[in-house]
Each structure stands twice: as structure tokens, then as C-alpha cells.
Amino acid sequence: EADIYQTPRYLVIGTGKKITLECSQTMGHDKMYWYQQDPGMELHLIHYSYGVNSTEKGDLSSESTVSRIRTEHFPLTLESARPSHTSQYLCASSGGLLYNAGELFFGEGSRLTVL
């Protein structure tokens, strides 16, 4: 079934740890995105990708990095997590054969807590 998957859903880790948030989609989409959302705040675009080997930084500066080696996969990595990284991270994708402008498909989100 076509979908977009994020793992882990919840993660609690200590300061200084390296973490990777996984995002995979089977939608056949070429564009993928990472948004960061703090409680009660707007979603901020932190990374996006046009396709394989394409990554761009979004509107909100982030210490995280991303890679796009495969069309389906768009992982986000924090080399050394800090409490300021505590947030919800939403992955999304768009494009494909049934493309509608402005329609993003979101995953369930990864809620990260750094102690």
C-alpha cells in the first residue's frame, strides 16, 4: 500500500548522542521534505529534496543533515543531540503521476526528546 513511514515515532535520548530519524515513502513521489514543529507553533521547513542526490536547506536553520541516496528514503541525522533539538519532526512527500500542486502527504511524525 502506498504510504509514507517514519521511525521511530517516539525517541528519548541523552545529550550528545547521534540520532537518525528515518522516512520512507512508497508513493512514487520525487519531492520530500522535513518539517519541525514545536507545540503550539507553526511547522517550519528545515530540509527538502527535489530527487536523488538533491538536498536543500529550508527556511528554518537546523543543525540536522539529510541525505537522498534513494528516491524512497530521506533520513534526517543529528550528530550530537541537544535539549534544544527536542521537537516533533514531520516528513512529507509530493509529486508523482497523480500530482496535485500544493498537496503534501505527511507521515505520522517522530517526537524527539533530548534530556
Q: Residue 16 — φ and ψ, nearest 5°?
A: 95, -10
Task: In angstroms, give the least distance from the CB of 54 to other proteins.
Answer: 10
Taking CB under 8 A as the rule, does residue 40 contact other proteins? yes
Rounded (to 5) percent helix, strand, coil in the chain: 5, 45, 50
Taking CB under 8 A as the rule, does residue 33 contact other proteins? yes
- Kindly indicate which of the ranges 10-18, 41-49, 66-74, 77-85 contains the residues binding other proteins, using the contact rule CB under 8 A: 41-49
Taking CB under 8 A as the rule, does residue 90 contact other proteins? yes
Peptide bond into 8 cis (omega under 30): yes
CB atoms within 10 A of CB 71: 16
Residue number, 81 or 87, with CB nearest to other proteins:
87
Taking CB under 8 A as the rule, does residue 97 contact other proteins? no
Residue number, 4 or 19, with CB nearest to other proteins:
4
Distance CA 33, CA 31 (A): 7
How many residues bind other proteins (CB under 8 A)? The answer is 26
